[in-house]
Every structure is written in C-alpha cells, then in structure tokens.
Amino acid sequence: MNKKTGLTLLFLLLLMVAVMVLSSCIGAVKISLAELLAILSNQSGLTDHTGFKSQQAAVLLNIRLPRVMLGMLIGAGLGISGAGIQGLFRNPLAEPGLIGISSGATLFAVLMIVMEIIIFKKLTGILGFYALSLAAFVGACLTTVIVYRLSMRNGKTIITTLLLSGIAINALAGAFTGLLTYLANDEQLRTITFWSLGSLGGASWETVMGILPFILIPVLGLPFLSKSLNALALGDAQALHMGVDVVMVKRIIMVLATIAVGASVAVAGVIGFIGLIIPHILRMTFSADHRLVIPGSALLGAALLSLADLLARTIVVPAELPIGILTALIGTPVFLYIIITERNKTKI
Amino acid sequence: MRTIIRQRSIFNHLADIEANEHNMIGIRELTYRIGKKELLHNLSFEVKSGELLAVLGANGAGKSTLMKLLCREINPTSGQIYLRGCDLQSYKLPELAKQRAVLSQQNTISISFLVHELVMMGRYPHFDQYPAEADVVIVKQVMVETGITHLSGRDYNTLSGGEQQRVQLARVLAQIYDCKDACLFLDEPTNGLDLRYQQQVMELARSLADRGYCVICILHDINFASRFADKILMLKEGRKVAMGTPVEVINCENIHETFSINVKLMPCEGYSCPLVIPATSNIN
C-alpha cells in the first residue's frame, strides 16, 4: 500500500476509535476511561468486578455500546455508499438521498408500518427486523433502478437527467409517504416521524446484529473497486479502454450502495448529508484517489455519525434531538459551500 | 449445398488466418448501422505493426465511428475486426488493455486528480492495487517524452486545454509503454495544441511506429498526415475513398472527393509528397 494512503487511513481509524471511546463515556450516566476499561476487561473475563458501578456496566453494555456500534455501522455504510455513488455517477454532488434511494426506502418502510402487512406482524425479533429491512431495501433498489434507467442513454449517464429524475422520484415518494402519513393512526404516526427524522434511539444488540451483514458486505467489497472508480472518473469510454468492465462495475456499486443505504434507513430512518459530505471532506483535505476516499469514507463516516449522535443525545438532556435534524443542520451549510466552490472553480 | 458452403467458410476462415498473421489489425467488410443510417459501409483494410495509418475525412465521414469500433466501444453490425489475427471480440477487456491504448477526443474528468496520479492510471491494467517500481519508472519516462514533467504536481482541472491533452497522451502512452508491438489509437491528437506541440505529438507518434507500434491516427491536417503517416485512409460518408501511401493517395481528385473542396498541390523540396493548400475558389 502507498505509504501516504496507509498513514491517512491509520489516522482516520484512530479518529474513529477515539470517537467510539468518547461516545461510550459521555452521556446521562458518566463513565470515565478507567471505568470503561474496567467494565470491558471484566466483561471479557480478565478482571474481577472492581473499579466501576453495576449501573454503569448495565448502561454501557445494554444501551450505550449498541448505540455507538449502530452509529458506527450506519455512518460507515452511508459514507462509503456516498463515495461509491459519487464515483459511479461521475458527479461530486450525487448522494444516496439526492437520487432518491433514501426516499424510496422510507416510502416502503412507511408502507410496511401503515399497511401493517401480515407477514411483518407475525415475524418478530430478528426476523421481523429483517422483514422491515427487506422492505426498505426493496424500496431503495426500486428507486435506484428507476433513476438510473431514466438517466442512462446509450450507456452514458446524463447528469442533468439524473438529478431531475432524482428530484421527481423524491417528490413522488414524498407524496406517497405523505398520503400514508395522512392515513396513519397516532401510534403509526409516531413511528413514521421517527423514520423521516432519523434516530439511533432504537439501538439494541439485535438491530446491530441485524444490520451488520448489510453494512459489512459493502464496506469490505467497495474498496476492491477503487481502482475502477478512479478510471471511471476519466469517463466511461476511457475506463473501458483501460480494461474496466464498466457495466459490471456500475452494477456492483449500485447494488452494494443500495444494500448499505437501504439497511441504514431501515433501522435509523433518513440521515441526510453524511453520504454527501464525507467523501468531499476527504477529497478536499487529502486526495481524490478512491483507494483512499472509499475506505476513508467508511472510517470518517463512522466517526462523524457517532459524534453527531453524541451531540444529538447530550445537547438537550434529558430529551434527545433526532440525528437527521443535526446532520442536516451541519450538512446544509457544507453542501452550499460545495456548490459555491464548484461554481467558482473556473477552468482555465 | 450445405457442405459446399461449409467448406467455403472453412476455406475463407483459413485464408483469413493466413492473411491476418502478418497484420496487426485487419478489418473485413466492416459495416455499422444505427437504425437505417449507415455510418460505415463495407470497409476493409489492414495495418501492420510499425505502421502509422492516418485517417482523413470530412466531419461525419465515420472516422470516430471507426475508432469506436476499433476500441470495442461499439460492436459492428456486420464484418470483423482482427487484432493479431484473432477476432477483437475474443479478447478479454484487461487483456486488450495491455496491448491497445486509446487517446479519445473528449477528456473531461469529474474529480480532480493530480497530473502524476492521472498518468499512473495508464498503468492500471498492469498492477493490482498499488504500482510496482517498474510502473513508477515508466510514468516518469513518458512524462519526459511528452514534456509534462514540470506539471507533475498540478491539478489536472487547472491545466490549459493543450496541457491536458499532453497529460492524456502521457497516460495513454504509459499504458502500452512496455509492450513493444502494441496498438495505439489516437483520435485527433493534435486538437487544441499549438504548432510546436502538434509537431511534437506527431513526431512522437512517428517514433512509436518506428519502434514497432501500430498507430492509427485520425487527423484533419492533410499535410501532417502526408508528412508523418506511412499510409492514409480517406473516408467519405462511411466509404473508403482511397487508401495507400501519401504519394499514392494525395491528389486533387481524392481530396475533392473526400472533402468537396478544390485544392492546389505544391511540390516542396525535401518532401516526397506535395503540400496541399486551398485553391482560390474553394466552394464547389
């Protein structure tokens, strides 16, 4: 591995671990670093029950750790699919949300909640969770395929059409979601609000284990396509000339990104802007090389989403802010900044 | 009847193989159609290794279509393209990339890369995740040959059109640099370059052909074509007007047929082929 890329990734990994420790320690029940280590070593059977309170251990192991884990997984999934999709569409402004993946997933999840589909009701626990994930996933796939098909012509993606179809699909999915919200009863309404604003409040070891494969496959798989994505940045024809099977690479990226985003929306609702800004931060600070941006987006995404969740649950204690609000609050100015610099970047 | 046809097709096949053994690229009765519009009609020709073929033709004559077919970006409606005697379709993409490089006409990139990163991309077909020592050496070498060493650390998107063109040429060259009888397809390589670099690029293409590469180059400048190419192919509306050495094909009739303009030929000392200049009354 290239030394510079290796060091950068190591730095991002350390950052992620630091955020992980910080998020585990801070909260309504405070846990010091020493106590954290004591609980963990006690849990793994290395030491006795000393140096911490039982309540702290209970909070850490049953509430905080799964939540931190979930935040990491979702952040990694959203970050890496954002990087993949931006590379795929050859457009730094593409984002899972912008091209309708998230709204499609939300629509199908809301459909499941409101229609209370019989299979979903019967399946509880892990299976029930997978059913909801599956619905969100199907919704994500469907919108992706529609938007992708609409924006393709002669094997090339037309960016304007892509963004316009994304907007159209978003509006359509939004309208249907609105209709379903109108039909929903009070209890369903609260669940729907959770979807549309996004929250890691539903975290448990069950959800963590449920989402794990959906995130792990893209996070481990996408880095193998980094070189092809670099070639794709030069153009479809150019990538083909360099021996890249463009159609196949595009398909794989689409599927992997959709898996990650679909699963993320299924457990935590729509968390915007992570997929958009993470790859940009990496490109602006380090390098545009996908061999750094792809794995780096997973690491930085994990770190930043956990950090955002830490803020979301500590800023208005004892209540908590939906994380979607927080990422949008931070994300929108960054998004605008990107648009403005893109506009001002005149080609000589 | 069927046996006869089969025997004939086998015979043709053997003849094909024999004929193609000496040719780097063989084109047989190549036709490409979109709907009812025929962009290329029944085109056949051969190019040997060590040869530089210039393709001339008016806008819309089918030059770029021919280039796309040669690159396998599109597939022929009928007819075959052979590379080293084997059907182009039978090659795997990564295999093809190691022996054939293409400089396209439009080269906009979506994400900012540094010049040396971009040139290194030419070596992508040759390494797995990270470049070997040899790849780094080749990248340095081609950057010297194309005169872009001083741009190495620059952002590609901040370069001028001519500089970008040279960077792309370096990338393409890096791709086949260590394959001594590879193919190089250049689609208007002198586009956007000033006179000095136009000449430099053509001299580079010439020296590559002399080193054993098979170079096919779309050009607009007839004088450049006759000065640097071994053979010239003239296309009009998808059909071959003429093909042969510059001395054979550069004459007023062929040029009039190809471009629908009148020209004057001026013999020039030291050049075997006369210079082509526009005639006073040009529109016919």
Q: Which of A37-51, A147-161, B87-101 is the least confident region?
A: A147-161
Contact B124 A230 (CB under 8 A): yes
- Give this prediction's pTM: 0.84
Q: What are all long-range contacts of A27-31, with beta carbons under 8 Å and residues at least 24 apart? A: A27/A59, A27/A64, A27/A313, A27/A314, A28/A59, A28/A317, A28/A318, A29/A55, A29/A56, A29/A59, A31/A56, A31/A59, A31/A60, A31/A64
CB atoms within 10 A of CB A67: 24
Q: What is the mean pLDDT of residues B159-180?
A: 90
Nearest to B124 among A231, A283, A287 (CB): A231
Is the per-residue pLDDT at B281 higher than 90?
no
Whether the complex's predicted ipTM surpasses the cut of 0.90: no
Residue B1 confidence class, pLDDT cut points 50, 70, 90: very low
Is the per-residue pLDDT at A125 higher than 60?
no
* B129/A contact by beta carbon, under 8 A: yes
Q: Which of A327-331, B52-56, B272-276 is the least confident region?
A: A327-331
Evaluate whether A77 touches A263 at the Cβ level (below 8 Å): yes
* A288/B contact by beta carbon, under 8 A: yes
Alpha carbon of A245: minimum distance to chain B alpha carbons (Å)? 7
Tens of pLDDT, residue by residue over A211-270, are: 899 899 999 999 999 999 999 999 888 999 999 998 889 889 888 988 898 888 878 888
Contact B101 A227 (CB under 8 A): no
Contact A289 B117 (CB under 8 A): yes
Instruction: Say if residue A154 is exposed, middle or buried (CB neighbours under 10 Å; 0-12, 13-18, 19+).
Output: exposed
Pairing of strands B100-103, B183-187: parallel
CATH architecture of B2-99+179-283: 3-Layer(aba) Sandwich (3.40)
Evaluate whether B89 touches B75 at the Cβ level (below 8 Å): yes
Among B110, B124, B151, B159, the residue to mutate for chain A (most A Cβ within 10 A): B110
Comparing alpha-carbon positions, the chain A residue that sits nearest to B117 is: A289
Alpha carbon of B260: minimum distance to chain A alpha carbons (Å)? 32
Closest CA to A233 of A113, A83, A112: A83
Return the pLDDT at A316: 81
Residue scoring higher pLDDT (A188 or B51): B51
Comparing alpha-carbon positions, the chain B residue that sits nearest to A280 is: B111
Instruction: Return the percentage of chain B with pLDDT > 90, whole number.
Output: 52
Tens of pLDDT, residue by residue over B114-131, are: 999 999 999 999 988 888
Structural domains of chain A, with CATH: 3-344 (1.10.3470.10)
Contact A243 B95 (CB under 8 A): yes
Tens of pLDDT, residue by residue over A134-190, are: 787 788 888 888 887 887 776 666 767 877 888 898 899 889 988 988 888 888 887
Comparing alpha-carbon positions, the chain A residue that sits nearest to B156 is: A347
CB contacts of A92 in chain B (<8 Å) are: 110-111
Instruction: Say if residue A345 is exposed, middle or buried (CB neighbours under 10 Å; 0-12, 13-18, 19+).
Output: exposed
Residue scoring higher pLDDT (B38 or A197): B38
* A213/B contact by beta carbon, under 8 A: no
